[in-house]
Amino acid sequence: MINTEVKPFQATAFHNGEFVEVNEASLKGQWSVFFFYPADFTFVCPTELGDLADHYEELKSRGVEVYSVSTDTHFTHKAWHDTSETIGKIRFPMIGDPTGAITRNFGVMIEEAGLAERGTFVIDPEGKIQIIEINAGGIGRDASELVRKIKAAQYVAAHPGEVCPAKWKEGEETLAPSLDLVGKI
């Protein structure tokens, strides 16, 4: 799926107190994160979404929009947002995918449960997937690591011919792959 375009979709999201339409064209021209999670009103999910909400302003400042996605409806997202202090912090669109079409497009549907895996997809401004991470249901994700990966993806996109080594942080040295480096790292 890396470097493939996001498949066409149409969905309704709860965003800043309103219901808004979102589709694949909404992603063009900016970096995006699709953050799939199993279900509203659960246990690990609110800890992940709260952590992501805490990093949202930093992501926005980097030109990144976040879309959380579950197979719940946009109405359920609104109810959860209105009743949970943690979820009430969210300022990014919460996409409802009750048919599971988007979840299947990204390959993270748990068919027997009708729920999404914990899948994270970073999409570049051309609508192509650059990063994929999928965790087992009991393992929560870390938004600070997601931010680090996005910084690396943005750096590589802006600097052709350079790559970011393991644990790379913004401002650190990168690598320029060449014959001279083979066997020397």
Contact 29, 124 (CB under 8 A): no
pLDDT tens for 90-100 read: 999 999 999 99
Q: What is the spatial distance between Cα 22 and Cα 153, in angstroms, rounded to a whole number?
A: 24
Task: Enumerate the active-site residues.
Answer: 45
Q: What is the three-class DSSP state of 75?
A: helix
pLDDT digits (tens, 9 = 90+) for 35-90: 999 999 999 999 999 999 999 999 999 999 999 999 999 999 999 999 999 999 99
* pTM for the model: 0.95
